[in-house]
Amino acid sequence: MKNIFYKFGAAALLSSAFLFSGCDPEFEDDVQVSAGSLNLSKYVAVGNSLTAGYQDNGLYLEGQVFSYPNILANQFSFAGGGGFAQPLFSNEQRNGSGYLRLSGFTATGSPILQPVTTNLATESATSAFFKDEFTGEVQNLGIPGIRLADIKTPGYGSAQGNPYFERITPDANQLQTYLQRVAASNPTFFSSWLGNNDVLGYATAGGFAGALTPVETFTNLYTELINTLTANGAEGIVATIPDVRAVPFFTTVGPTAKPLLAAAVAAANAQGLPITGVTALSKNTATRITITPASIKDASGGSILLTLTSSAYLPLIGQPTGRYWRELAASQNPTNPTAQLQGYLANFQIDTTKAFGLDPRNPIPSAFVLDDTEQNEINAATAAFNDIIKAQANAKGLAIFDAYQYFNSIQAGFTQNGVAYSPAFITGNLFSLDGVHPTQRGYAIIANEMIKAINAKYGSTIPTIDVTQFRAVLFP
Amino acid sequence: MKSKILAFLGSAVLSAGVATAGGFQANLQGQKQIGMGHAGTGLALDQSSIFFNPGALAHLRQNGIQLGVSALNAKIAYREPSPGISSAQTDNPLSTPFQVYASYGKEESPLRFGIGVYTPYGSSVNWGNLWQGRFGLNELTLQAIFIQPTISYRISDKLGFGAGFVYSTGNVNLQRSIPLQASNYAEGQVELDGNASGFGFNLGVFFQPVEKLSLGLTYRSKVEMEVKEGDVTFMLPSSPLITSQFQATQFDAKLPLPANITLGIGFRPTEKLAIAVDIQHVQWSAYKALRFDYNAPIRGENFSESPRNYEDVFIYRLGAQYQVSDILTLRAGAYYDKSPVQEGYLTPETPDADSRGVSAGLTLALSEKVDLDASFLYINKKQRTDDASKSGGVAGTYKSVAYIPGVGLNYKF
């Protein structure tokens, strides 16, 4: 008797469990997706390395696949968006230009970054140009390194120009300018994020190399670019130039170097050398400036920024060394580095037998330091360029992703879905191993910010993407 | 005796499920009561009075044993905040809250002894390790089995008191992803696993001033489940710089299972009809924070704490039973349960909302000594959108439903 009940009970239990397993919870409202007034059938992305998907100091297949334009196109596809063609590297050449990967940490916790040199798309490990041209249609016109100042330069797509633009420019059309290529793309919707390199190159070189684009040039070219993009009635989104001082490339080394430099100065003082700080070069001149440890920027104050590239040389402070100049000469003039080195030493009046950084005769190179003068120039240019970008966008009724405002707003960090984000190098999840370009996660966050700006401007409801599906830095 | 019962129970799949009440309470303690919206504190229905009202136990004329089990099938859907459209749904294992009650006393004695083993709290939520909120939670299993020896004394035909001592044993297992990816793209993960135990009591008074009206009042105390030296297991990228940040191997934690005060009223307008109304006050405010203390630091901290700040709530229950014939009794009921989770505090472990339950049930009197109970409860929680800004949870919209069939067997002697 008992057995029968047991069986009956078990059977009832199992069958009813099976019966109801199909009844899922349902939301009261369906997902709303609409393009609003937009025609997303042909999206074209105009821009530089950020648009190409550049990260970890290189452009490679994975970065291209997870570029913010590709993410945008994917989300546009929910609202009638068309296909999106990118100049992807082949799988055999998937490492593209080569890039940096994190292979470990030193005993003191510094990251060890190793170049990836296999499966490259370049002609050789030392050449920046690519083996194969990409002849298919290209809707992601992100060209790493391009400045706004370059968009009307004939031959920019030739073997004497930019390797990335050369790669997608047909040989028969070598003199086509970037602007002409943009005009030929004929989008119904576009994104434009150009102008970063008009300040960034100068900034990352610590004011030592490169130049800021004159404001007048920027105004004319930007106006022409936006006129070209909107000539056929296309709508779009433009992005402003972030404050380059807020990226890990400039914010990582200073806080750790500050106490080390203070100790070096104190040690020099103890030996009777009456210095208040280290000596550095400014801009591309022989002008010396003194940097007191207190003036180096960290959480407690200061303004002087040290580049990520300086971290390998700062331990040499106080030693008689000319290592930086030797290496620079070898890279700039491989055929006659000795002559090049003599030139540097003469130009910048350097005596490499003196204590590096502590003795004014062997100053810290300008390339490692973004001093107040250089920062002021960069700020003024960035502000002027952003005013032009926003004015042009407003004149044409375009959406704006204010990257300057956005990146400044997240300086203190934020948490999303249990993940902490900040502009910190490696640990902040937003910036890749070059300290300038975002991680794939960072690009996805940018894409979502752009979608929000587009939705606000055009009354669309394009869905944002789940950013946790994108990776940040990979750890060994 | 205790170990025997545990061994018997251990053969079943044990875990009370989420979504049967506010927070992680699982109000599934008697098949007859489940059929009546889980009301019955004011009635002396059967041996389940050991839980519902120890004071009513001595008003049962027969000794008996009752075995019951429910098949809890709960599902929770998630959608990320607009304008995102990513969604997720739990893949919770079928969980089986159960109850065993036995009572004994000489027929004419005013004294009854009883023991109850039941699962009033528990949760089993599995979101998997791919969803958007995985850094908040992959999977949580909470189990608590209450073992309650009870004594009940009938002062008169109108009044009875009862008291039970509660020993609670259980375990907790929590898994979540850590946002650190190895070069093979594997995400980090942490698992906390530990056994817990606690003590409490259950007091009840049963009062039947007239034949057609009975009242019950119970107080079930808070039980603080304490985990000591539970295991902490990390899966992380192997770099020493990272692993040195996650040194903990053991954790301690305390989880309060809140006190309940329930007032129940029973009407018997006719011989065959009984109506039960319960008002249950759940003192969830005891649950202030979920805190884990570690034996070694994790990212420099020896503990982690996320605020919960639950609110006390009332649950309103209404049910009725009608004896159709000598062998068949039918039941129906409903309840309304306010969520203890305040705005901003929603978490994926208990994405709680005000819930509505409707139920039906029946009893088949198969013989003089054997009854078979069956019940079915459907729970529908209100869709709830929360920014989870205060709990460190996962922002978004949640919707839960549960289907809970159950059966019980009564043997009277």
What length is written for chain A?
476
Please identify which residue in the block is written with the tokens 């707003």: A409
Which bin fits B329, alpha (ψ -120 to 50), beta or left (φ > 0)? beta
SS3 A384: helix
Strand-pair category, B159-182 with B139-154: antiparallel
Label residue B313 by pLDDT band (50, 70, 90): very high
Which among A9, A78, A418 has CB closest to B392? A418
Which of A31, A468, A471 should be substituted to probe chain B, the one whose Cβ sees the most B Cβ atoms within 10 Å? A468
Q: Which residues of A touch B238 (CB under 8 A)?
A: 476
Within 8 A of A24 by CB-CB distance, chain B residues are 75, 77, 89, 401
A448 contacts in B (CB within 8 Å)?
84
Give the 3-state DSSP-derived string for chain B, with helices as H, strands as E and coil as C.
Answer: CHHHHHHHHHCCCCCCCCCCCCCCECCCCCHHHHCCCCCCCCCCCCCCHHHHCHHHHCCCCCCEEEEEEECEEEEEEEECCCCECCEEECCCCCECCEEEEEEECCCCCCEEEEEEEEEEEEEEEECCCCCCCCCCCCEEEEEEEEEEEEEEEECCCCEEEEEEEEEEEEEEEEEEEEEEEECCCCEEEEEEEEEEEEEEEEEEEEEEEECCEEEEEEEECCEEEEEEEEEEEEECCCCHHHHCCECCCEEEEEEEECCEEEEEEEECCCCCEEEEEEEEEECHHHCCEEEEEEEEEECCEEEEEEECCCCCEEEEEEEEEEECCCCEEEEEEEEEECCCCCCCCCCCCCCCCCEEEEEEEEEEECCCCEEEEEEEEEEEECCEEECCCCCCCCCEEEEEEEEEEEEEEEEEC
Residues of B in contact with A3 (CB under 8 A): none
Nearest residue in chain B measured CA to CA from A472: B181
B179 and A472: CB-CB below 8 Å? yes
Q: Report residue A16's pLDDT band, with 50, 70 and 90 as the boundaries.
A: very low
Cβ contact A461:A454 at 8 Å: no
* Nearest C-alpha in B relative to A8: B407
Q: Indicate yes or no: CB of A471 within 8 angstroms of CB of B242.
A: no
Please report which confidence band the pLDDT of residue B10 belongs to, taking 50, 70 and 90 as the band edges.
very low
Identify the closest residue of chain B to A461 by CA–CA distance: B83
Distance from CA of B274 to the nearest CA of A (A): 26
Q: Which residues of B touch A451 (CB under 8 A)?
A: 83
Contacting residues of A for B239, CB less than 8 Å apart: 104-105, 475-476
Pairwise CB contact (< 8 Å): B181 & A472: yes
Query: CA-to-CA distance for B129 and B133, rounded, in angstroms?
Result: 9
The answer to whether A167 and A21 have CB atoms below 8 angstroms apart is: no
Q: Is A267 helix (H, G, I), strand (E, B) or coil?
A: helix
CB contact under 8 A, A466 and B75: no
Which chain A residue shows the shortest CA-CA distance from B86?
A466
CA distance from start to end of chain B: 20
Helices A337-347 and A323-332 meet at what angle, rounded to 10? Answer: 130
Q: Do B133 and A417 touch (CB under 8 A)?
A: yes
Among candidates B136, B150, B50, B131, which has minimal Cα distance to B90?
B131
CB contact under 8 A, A464 and B83: yes
Instruction: Please give the ipTM for the structure prediction.
Output: 0.84
Asked if the Cβ–Cβ distance from A418 to B394 is below 8 Å, we say: yes
pLDDT one-digit tens code per residue, B146-197: 999 999 999 999 999 999 999 999 999 999 999 999 999 999 999 999 999 9
Question: Where does residue A452 rank: exposed (0-12), middle (13-18), buried (19+ CB within 10 A)?
Answer: middle
| Cβ-defined contact of A20 to B85 (cutoff 8 Å) | no
pLDDT 10s digits, B203-258: 999 999 999 999 999 999 999 999 999 999 999 999 888 888 999 999 999 999 99
For residues A230 and A224, the answer to whether their CB atoms sit within 8 Å is no
Across the interface, of B85, B94, B237, the residue whose CB is closest to A476 is: B237
Averaged pLDDT, A237-250: 93
- Please calculate the CA angle A13-A16-A22 and round it to the nearest 5 degrees: 140
Q: Are B107 and B318 in contact (CB under 8 A)?
A: no
In the chain, the amino acid numbered B26 is A
**Residue A12 with chain B: CB contacts under 8 Å:** 374, 405, 407
Q: Please indicate whether, in this complex, the C-beta atoms of B241 and A1 are within 8 angstroms of each other.
A: no
Top pLDDT among B44 and A1 is at B44
Long-range contact pairs involving A7-12 (C-beta distance under 8 Å, separation at least 24): A8/B372, A9/B69, A9/B372, A9/B407, A9/B409, A12/B374, A12/B405, A12/B407
Q: Which residue of A has its CA nearest to B401?
A: A25
Position B12 confidence tier, pLDDT thresholds 50, 70, 90: very low
Q: How far is CA B132 from CA A27, B81, B174, B381, in A?
A: 18, 11, 17, 22
CATH of the domain at B131: 2.40.160.60
Inspect the interface and report whether the beta carbons of A16 and B409 lie closer than 8 Å. Answer: no
Cα separation, A415 vs B390, whole angstroms: 12
How many residue contacts between A and B have a Cβ separation below 8 Å? 125
Name the closest residue on chain A to residue B182, using Cα atoms. Answer: A475
B8: pLDDT strictly greater than 60: no
Q: β-pairing, B213-220 with B187-210? A: antiparallel
Question: What does chain B come to in residues?
Answer: 413
pLDDT attached to residue A2: 37
Taking an 8 Å cut-off on Cβ atoms, the answer to whether A28 and B237 are in contact is no
Q: Do B83 and A455 touch (CB under 8 A)?
A: yes
Which of B85, B129, B246 would you mutate first to test chain A, the one with the most A CBs within 10 A?
Answer: B85
Dihedral of alpha carbons A466, A468, A469, A471, sign: positive
Chain A: closest CA distance from residue B344 (Å) = 14
Domain range for B183 is: 2-412
At A432, list the tokens. 């890749």
CA B395/CA B351 separation, integer angstroms: 10
pLDDT of residue B5: 36
Inter-chain residue contact B370 with A472, CB threshold 8 Å = no
The Cα–Cα gap between A268 and A291 comes to 15
Instruction: Tell whether the model's pLDDT for residue A76 goes beyond 50.
Output: yes
* Chain centroid offset of residue B1 CA: 24
Flag if B242 and A475 touch (Cβ within 8 Å): yes
Identify which of B82, B185, B241 has the shortest CB distance to residue A471: B185
Given a cut of 90, is residue A432 above it in pLDDT? yes
- Would the CA dihedral through B32, B35, B36, B39 be positive or negative? positive
pLDDT band at A262 (very low <50, low <70, confident <90, very high): very high
Residue B376 reports pLDDT greater than 70:
yes
Q: How many CA atoms lie within 13 A of A164 on its CB side?
A: 27
Highest mean pLDDT among A378-387, B11-20, B301-310, B350-359: A378-387
Gap from A126 CA to chain B (nearest CA, Å): 26
pLDDT of res. A283: 86
Nearest to B71 among A16, A24, A417 (CB): A16
Distance from the Cα of B5 to chain A's closest Cα (Å) equals: 18
User: Which chain A residues contact residue B240 at CB under 8 A?
Assistant: 105
Cα–Cα distance, A73 to A59 (Å, whole number): 19
Residue B383's closest chain A neighbor by CA?
A27
Residues of A in contact with B374 (CB under 8 A): 12
- Tell me: pLDDT of A106 over 80: yes
Angstrom distance (rounded) from CA B206 to CA B162: 8
Q: What is the pLDDT confidence band of residue A12, given thresholds at 50, 70 and 90?
A: very low
CB contact under 8 A, A474 and B185: yes
Q: How confident is the model at residue B63 (pLDDT cuts 50, 70, 90)?
A: very high
SS3 A470: coil
By C-alpha distance, which of A166, A162, A158, A142 is closest to A54? A142
The model's confidence at residue B21, banded by pLDDT at 50, 70 and 90, is low
Picking from A14, A26, A463, the nearest residue to B83 by CB comes out as: A463
The CA distances from residue B65 to A368, B50, B61, B372, in Å, are 83, 11, 13, 12
For residue range A354-405, what is the model confidence (pLDDT) as tens digits?
Answer: 999 999 999 999 999 998 999 999 999 999 999 999 999 999 999 999 999 9
Residue A396 burial (CB count, 10 A): 15
Selected residue of A417, A422, A474 to mutate for chain B interface (largest B Cβ count, 10 A): A417
CA distances (Å), origin A440, targets A69, A291, A338, B206, B384: 12, 36, 42, 65, 31
CA distances from B166 to B1, B45, B141, B220 (A): 15, 21, 21, 9
Torsion of CA B125, B127, B128, B131, to 10 degrees: -160
Burial A255-287 (b: 16+ CB within 10 A, else e): eebbeebbebbeebeeeeeebebbbbbbbbeee
Nearest residue on chain B to A471, judged by CA atoms? B181
* The pLDDT of residue A246: 86
E strands, A267-351, in order: 278-281, 288-291, 305-306
Structure tokens at B8: 């018997």
Report how many domains make up chain B: 1
What integer best gives the mean pLDDT of chain A? Answer: 91
Subunit contact B180:A471, Cβ cutoff 8 A:
no
Q: Which residue of chain B comes nearest to A10, CA vs CA?
A: B407
